[in-house]
Amino acid sequence: MKLIATPLAVLCAAVLSMPAYAAKPAKTPKAPKAPTFDTKRLSEEVKTLSSDDFQGRGPATEGETKTIDYLVAQFKAAGVQPGGDLKDGKRLWTQAVPLLRSQITGTPTLSYSIKKKARPLTQGNEIAVRAALDGSKNVSIKNAPLVFAGYGVSAPERQWDDFKGVDLKGKIAVVLINDPDFETGSGDFGGKAMTYYGRWTYKYEEAARRGALGLLIVHETDPASYGWATVKNSNTNTMFDVVRDNPGATHPTLEGWIQRDTAVALFKSAGLDFDKLKKQAQTRDFKPVTLKNISFSANYAVDSEVITSQNVVGRVEGSKRPDETVIYSAHWDHLGIGQPDAKGDTIYNGAVDNATGTAALIEMGRTFAKAKKPQRSVVFLAVTAEEKGLLGSEYYSAKPLYPLAKTVAVINTDALDPTGPARDFTTSGSAKQELLDELIATAQKWNVTYAPDPKPEAGHFFRSDHFPFAKRGVPAVSFGSGEDKVDGGVAAGKAEGEAYVKDRYHQPADQWEASWTFTGMARDLQILYTLGSDLANSTRWPNWAEDSEFRAARDESAGERAAK
């Protein structure tokens, strides 16, 4: 299903404060009574899921087959029941997720021309072009004009239009990442906090709606919230999308990113000042600018087909109200096998992102299965293709196995800290809702405080698997490990997080470490278990704040929850 860009101001995988190395074990305050989580088992599960044998857990690969088999075996051993698709009146362990898989065949030929003199661009260096998702089997673009379209935003409710009626047919639009007010810190788009207009997914969608032949996003580390390595590794491998009736309405033929230095050079060759135009683009008066005497060419074959990936679904049925559901979610996938790093390693193991969250799901299932049966049902949803645009959770929320109207809440775990405990926790985004209030109150029982998303400008709220549920009105939160480490404080936590994003995030170096203690993660899971258990044994229906953009969608289904 298409992610609609609306005044909601609404994915691969959110990164908050992840460790690059292990913190020393430390004593934690005495906590309330709650089931304990086995740190050795958590470590072993993360080690297994992120081992080279699982080949980076890429969807529709041998790595997926091994991952699905492993998860089903673990859920069975944990005492969880299958909760997936119905077949002959019985639940399977999986939910089939049809996806369009697309990859570039061979090395793409890419270049730009200055007054008809061609200059080559190297895939992965100056540019990162994605395999076409509009259905094209071959992309052949010759000397297409380039048009700078500011931030690529059309927001009528904000009286904002970066396109001003420009005809983009047959042309390549060049746009900036994030929102127009990211650098100024104040304005019509939430200041530093990113709106959905700042997400690259929206920018491609808007380009398609405008009839553009293609869209190139200028990469800059701060507004993107990640470096070029992440862009390269996430966009030059196999692409996936949900199966669409008209894919060209959502995807232009060419989708890609270019390095800032490359963009500056292009603008200069056209007699334009990149920084000056960027400042103009931060105002309503900005008008699109054609890069005179500059054109873009591309030629590459695309191998695409519809494949079926799998969400894995476990369930503990409720004793009194089994039709009401609390969901714990995490994505099992990572990037698979891709470009080699400096050491020649091609396997993107995804230990922190997101073998940690997947291991948490297994152990949460084990704990609920061993406890007294909850009054409401609890579902453990391991989704596919998060790294390809939240596709597994998008599919489930569009075609839910259990009605969204009677889904109490979604508690998502993505990239948890496998080292020592922190005095705080955070979430992907800080949307106002009663579920977050309940999480904050629960954490306080462990003397753990809430730290709002430290980087709202990174748009984490739109980058994790709770979001497809949230936009349909289901109360949903994505939990993030804290930054104020018991050993080392905020300075240590911040340094670890920054090092992780720089050196490991979406890179082969995201590997299991024997030094990881998992003590912090085990404590955090106690908090999340208590939150879910309390909801599963209550009659409460948490909602969004009155002024939340998601409140209306939830309220529309109130009658179904009231029905007996």
- Please answer whether residues 555 and 398 qualify as being in contact, where contact means their C-beta atoms are separated by less than 8 angstroms: no
- Tell me the chain's radius of gyration from C-alpha atoms: 23
Q: Which one-letter DSSP state was computed for residue 360?
A: H
Amino acid, single-letter form, for residue 518: F
Q: What is the pLDDT of residue 196?
A: 86
Helices (H), 139-289: 200-209, 221-224, 228-235, 260-269, 274-281
Structure tokens at 329: 């979610």
Structure tokens at 207: 């380009």
First to last CA, the chain: 31
CA-CA-CA-CA torsion sign (128, 131, 132, 138) = positive
CA neighbor of 215 nearest in space, from 286, 144, 125, 280: 144
Tens place of pLDDT per residue across the chain (564 aa): 333 333 323 333 333 334 433 344 444 445 678 999 999 999 999 999 999 999 999 998 999 999 999 999 999 999 999 999 999 999 999 999 999 999 999 999 999 999 889 999 999 999 999 999 999 999 999 999 999 999 999 998 899 999 999 999 999 999 999 999 999 888 888 788 888 899 999 999 999 999 999 999 999 999 998 999 989 988 998 899 988 889 999 999 999 999 999 999 999 999 999 999 999 999 999 999 999 999 999 999 999 999 999 999 999 999 999 999 999 999 999 999 988 999 999 999 999 999 999 999 999 999 999 999 999 999 999 999 999 889 999 999 999 999 999 999 999 999 999 999 999 999 998 889 999 999 999 999 999 999 998 778 888 888 899 999 999 999 999 999 999 999 999 999 999 988 998 899 999 999 999 999 999 999 999 999 999 999 999 999 999 999 888 998 999 999 999 765
CA distance 304 to 389: 17
CA distance 508 to 547: 42
CA distance 302 to 307: 15
List CB contacts of 383: < 8 A, sequence separation 6 or more.
311, 329, 330, 331, 332, 333, 392, 393, 396, 465
Q: What are phi and psi of 305, to 5 degrees?
A: -160, 160
**pTM metric for this prediction:** 0.81
CA distance 133 to 73: 34
Q: Hey, what CATH topology would domain 39-99+307-559 get?
A: Aminopeptidase (3.40.630)
List CB contacts of 259: < 8 A, sequence separation 6 or more.
125, 126, 127, 219, 228
CA distance 389 to 318: 32
- Residue 476, SS3? strand
Site of tokens 């860009």: 5
How far does CA 16 lie from the centroid of its chain? Answer: 12
Q: What is the pLDDT of residue 219?
A: 98
CA distance 340 to 233: 9
Give Cα separations from 199 to 18, 23, 46, 452 (angstroms). Answer: 22, 33, 30, 20
List CB contacts of 344: < 8 A, sequence separation 6 or more.
none
Q: In this structure, which CATH number among 3.30.565.10, 3.50.30.30, 3.90.1170.10, 2.60.40.10 belongs to the domain 102-304?
A: 3.50.30.30
Give Cα separations from 163 to 155, 199, 336 (angstroms). Answer: 11, 17, 37
Strand 239-242 and strand 214-219: the pairing is unpaired
- Please answer whether residues 259 and 267 qualify as being in contact, where contact means their C-beta atoms are separated by less than 8 angstroms: no
CA distance 549 to 561: 20
Q: Which one-letter DSSP state was computed for residue 456?
A: G
Domain boundaries for CATH 3.50.30.30 within the chain: 102-304
Amino acid, single-letter form, for residue 498: E
Q: What is the pLDDT of residue 431?
A: 86
Q: How many residues does the chain have?
A: 564
Domain boundaries for CATH 3.40.630.10 within the chain: 39-99+307-559
- Please answer whether residues 445 and 31 qualify as being in contact, where contact means their C-beta atoms are separated by less than 8 angstroms: yes
Q: Which one-letter DSSP state was computed for residue 534?
A: H
Please report which helix (H) or strand (E) contains residue 42, including its range. helix 39-49
Q: Which one-letter DSSP state was computed for residue 123?
A: B
- Residue 21, SS3? coil
How far does CA 431 lie from the centroid of its chain? Answer: 16
b vs e for 267-277, b when ≥16 Cβ sit within 10 Å of the residue's Cβ? Answer: bebbebebeee
CA-CA-CA-CA torsion sign (231, 236, 237, 240) = positive
- Please answer whether residues 100 and 243 qualify as being in contact, where contact means their C-beta atoms are separated by less than 8 angstroms: yes
